[in-house]
Amino acid sequence: MHKVAFLSLGSNIGDRMANIITALDRLGQVGEIIAVSSIYETEPVEFMAQPWFLNCVVKLDTEKMPKQLLAAILKIEQSMGRRRLQKKGPRIIDIDILLFGSAVVDAEGLTIPHPSLHERRFVLEPMAEIDANLDHPALKRTVRELLAELPAGQAVRRVGGPPIAESNSR
């Protein structure tokens, strides 16, 4: 059974763009990458004393179930050297499941939709680029509406097009 998941990728350690590209390449083994947003440079949230991030959003067609997808993502992060030393701290790569079809999941270690999705400009802007009319299954509002409701604040700026062409995925 195929499902479409939306994932957020972020990196603020080392060669941030190379980290994003490596993660995208490895995600291509987890499913088919349907779309990749542009790259955005974003200031950190919550823990501010760290370098700025590069972020993008990926639309992935996968046969994996949510917990299987999470396990595959954690394996990619670990293989790339991700160490969880400080909550919200610097990281080589961070991959979050934002949405998984229209599923609402509340399990130990996994909440879908991502609980902070509607509060994060660095996620909503690239997500809107891929599908602004996508509905948040719990809040019953589109990505465009959620983005419009955000207060001014976090700096998010587009710095480049998609790091890979969708036709180059799998």
Catalytic residues: 82, 91, 94, 96
SS3 content of the chain, % helix, strand, coil (to 5): 30, 30, 40
In whole angstroms, what is the distance from residue 98 CA to residue 105 CA? 11
Q: In the chain, which residue ranges form alpha helices assigned H by DSSP?
A: 16-27, 66-79, 121-131, 143-149
CA 159/CA 112 separation, integer angstroms = 28
The C-alpha atoms of residue 103 and residue 1 are separated, in whole angstroms, by 14
Are 159 and 11 a contacting pair, CB within 8 Å?
A: no
Helix axis angle, 16-27 to 66-79, nearest 10°: 140
Cβ neighbours of residue 92 under 8 Å, at least 6 residues apart?
11, 13, 14, 19, 77, 80, 81, 82
